[in-house]
């Protein structure tokens, strides 16, 4: 997403209902009315791509717990837990863009890891 230095006036249409073929899945359609751009699907795709990038968190956590306790096990476990919590928090769709929330939380975790690496507390991510 890009930062806009001014406020754009837009009209957003949100429709909810049931999937016609499935019957039990909720269908959300969020569309910017003037351009016709579907907003919710773009967020869903972004979230899926972010989840692909952070696969393997459970394996990192297991590896850390099997190593001798050197004080870093708790730190690694805490970061892994934060990543897993960010992945499972879907917010309140459709108007709460969970993909953006996930990106913000993962960026904060990455920034924290970079700060630890700069201080020499933990190796570079």
- DSSP H or E stretch at residue 90: none
Lowest mean pLDDT among 6-10, 33-37, 43-47: 6-10
Neighbours of 95 (CB within 10 A): 12
Domain segments of the chain: what residues? 40-119
Do residues 87 and 81 lie in contact, with contact meaning Cβ atoms separated by under 8 Å? no
- Structure-token pair, residue 25: 């899945």
Residue 14, strand partner residues: 30
Neighbours of 25 (CB within 10 A): 8
pLDDT digits (tens, 9 = 90+) for 84-109: 888 777 655 555 566 667 778 888 88
pLDDT digits (tens, 9 = 90+) for 42-89: 566 667 777 887 888 888 888 877 777 777 788 888 888 888 888 777
CA distance 19 to 55: 29
């Amino acid at each position: 997403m890009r930062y806009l230095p001014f406020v754009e006036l837009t009209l957003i249409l949100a429709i909810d209902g049931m999937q016609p073929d499935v019957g039990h899945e909720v269908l959300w359609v969020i569309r910017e009315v003037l351009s016709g751009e579907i907003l919710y699907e773009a967020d869903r795709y972004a979230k899926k791509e972010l989840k692909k990038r952070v696969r393997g968190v459970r394996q990192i956590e297991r590896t850390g717990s099997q190593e001798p306790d050197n004080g870093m096990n708790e730190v690694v476990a805490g970061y892994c837990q934060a990543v897993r919590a960010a992945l499972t928090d879907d917010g309140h769709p459709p108007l709460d863009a969970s993909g953006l929330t996930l990106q913000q939380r993962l960026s904060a975790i990455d920034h924290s890891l970079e700060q630890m690496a700069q201080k020499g507390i933990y190796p570079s991510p």
